[in-house]
Amino acid sequence: MIILAKWIVVFFGVFIIYVGLLMFFAPEKARATLMKAGSTNFINYAEITIRMIPALAMILYADFSKYPEVFKLFGWFMLGTSIFLYFVPRKVHHSFSLRAAEILKPQYVKWLSPFSLLFGAAIIYCVA
């Protein structure tokens, strides 16, 4: 189980790096994806459920990581906010994502991309 959790966390780090690259090279596409959050019941509950997988993996793998407390805290934060989102009406979630996308113009999305790249790399570094 620990080995599976480790590889899920590594994959999550790679995914975050991919998102950072998408934000830099295709900020309009990243923004369009954000706008879809919560747009349908399937998208809403699928994204929340999928988000719980790396959260649980981080919690399970925390004791083997370079920064166990940080992994546990972040994993529990992701898990807690995911559970909270199950109880937020889908339309509220979607409305929030539309407002966020309106604020985050493509130029801003591009400026934020290095944070995603660094965050993904940090996750992978902490696992190795």
Extended beta strands in the chain, E state: none
* pLDDT above 90 for 26: yes
pLDDT in tens, 55-111: 999 999 999 999 999 999 999 999 999 999 999 999 999 999 999 999 999 999 999
- Which pTM does this prediction carry? 0.90
Domain boundaries, the chain: 2-127
pLDDT in tens, 102-113: 999 999 999 999
The per-residue pLDDT for 126 is: 94
The per-residue pLDDT for 128 is: 74
Region of residue 38 (left: phi > 0; alpha: psi -120 to 50; beta: else)? left
The span from the CA of 75 to the CA of 120, in Å, is: 14
